[in-house]
Amino acid sequence: MQENQFAVVAKRGDRVCDLSTPRPIIDEDRLAANIARCQAYMDEHGLNFRPHIKTHKIPALAAEQVAAGAKGINCQKISEAEVFAAAGFQDILITFNILGAQKLERLAALNDRISDLKVVADSIVTVDGLSEYFALRRPLAVLVECDTGGGRCGVQTPEEAKALAQRIQAAPGLSFAGLLNYPKPAAAEAVQAFLVNTLGLLEQESIACPIVSNGGTPSLFDAHLVTAATEHRAGTYIYNDRSMVRAGHCDEADCAMHVLATVVSRPTADRAVIDAGSKALTSDLLGFADFGTVVGYPDAVITGLSEEHGVIDLSKCGDHRPQIGDKVRIIPNHTCVVSNLFDTMVFHRDGVVTRVENVAARGLVW
């Protein structure tokens, strides 16, 4: 790890309040509770659960998710899947259209290494590209990505989904494995309708559809409303963040990740500056007007970030204001992008470091 060239981040037994800042830290008890809570919900409703590893990028955490009952894992990039395959995971779904000779070559090599690799496609171009590569190899399982209202990738109608499923079924080297969608939050009815209609069309053609994969942490606890789904995917739930609190998915106390920062300046009575900027918290707003929650200072507002500075407006804080040198904890707007900035992640229980994990799938190409 680059960062260890000049600095040891932390070691077991250190107090997190002594760590150099800025530094994201993960509360072990909250982490375990988040994993257990979500898996219990999925078990209760008979849904397979497939955690998305993009949030943490750490094989040891995925192992905890699988040990709790997750069926397999979800990756977003071939490189992520390679890291997790090397760590022993066999059931990996890559939810991305994979295009281009270099990536297809790597995908084929990966498909030879693990037993249950799956990808998605939403176009004939992607399907034909996959087929060209896999025609003379071990067959690849492909799901049709459906846009049920999320407005990102995906076929637009059940008819298109059926046609693409047929194309996959007929393509040398490919097998049709099911349907997948990434919904906008609170849209269970629309998702259900799209999936039910598509399943009806597939049934008319006698096309088996083993997997129906619904997704998203914001809609995680609505997953049981989508009875057409066989599985649910979610990533952020393992750490949780400010956007998940706002979505009603969890409480502030369920946020396992805090970003530890130091107040380095108090230029005015109403302004504090911390050493966590956009290179620690990222600029993800996700609809907020500010850049995170300052734990213990509910009226403090992180109004602006530059790369290594966060500017906090204290004007509504009354007399309780952090002083220069004080350490504060920030609940970030979005955990997944914070993970992506740090080569290592520090875990603690009651403020004492339990372990330091390599963020193994960070910074990978492909």
List binders of a copy of itself among 37-66 (CB under 8 A): 54
Q: Tell whether residue 17 is a contact of a copy of itself (CB under 8 A).
A: no
Q: Which of 113, 285, 315, 320 binds a copy of itself (CB under 8 A)?
A: 285
Q: Which of 131, 214, 243, 282 binds a copy of itself (CB under 8 A)?
A: 282
Q: Which of 79, 219, 240, 335 binds a copy of itself (CB under 8 A)?
A: 79
Q: Which residue has the tokens 């919904």?
A: 183
Q: Tell whether residue 289 is a contact of a copy of itself (CB under 8 A).
A: no
What is the total count of residues that contact a copy of itself (CB under 8 A)?
A: 72
Q: Which of 137, 138, 152, 316 binds a copy of itself (CB under 8 A)?
A: 152
How far apart are CB 221 and a copy of itself at their closest, in Å? 21
Query: The dihedral of CA 65, 68, 70, 72: what is its sign?
Result: positive
CB nearer to a copy of itself: pick between 206 and 365? 365
CB nearer to a copy of itself: pick between 68 and 247? 247
Q: Which stretch binds a copy of itself (CB under 8 A): 131-139, 187-195, 248-256, 279-287?
A: 279-287
DSSP characters over 104-170: HHHHHHHHHHSSEEEEEE-SHHHHHHHHHHHTTSS-EEEEEEE-SSSSSSSBSSHHHHHHHHHHHHH
CB nearer to a copy of itself: pick between 129 and 230? 129
Please report, as residue ranges, which positions from 200 to 239 form the binding site for a copy of itself (by CB under 8 A). none
Q: Are 122 and 163 in contact (CB under 8 A)?
A: no
Q: Are 17 and 248 in contact (CB under 8 A)?
A: no
What pairing do the DSSP bridges indicate for beta strands 257-268 and 327-331?
antiparallel
Q: Which stretch binds a copy of itself (CB under 8 A): 32-40, 185-193, 280-288, 348-356?
A: 280-288
Say how far apart CA 280 and CA 83 lie, in whole Å: 24
% helix, strand, coil for the chain, step of 5:
35, 25, 40
Q: Which stretch binds a copy of itself (CB under 8 A): 166-174, 239-247, 250-258, 268-276?
A: 268-276
How far apart are CB 307 and a copy of itself at their closest, in Å? 6
Radius of gyration, CA atoms only, the chain = 22
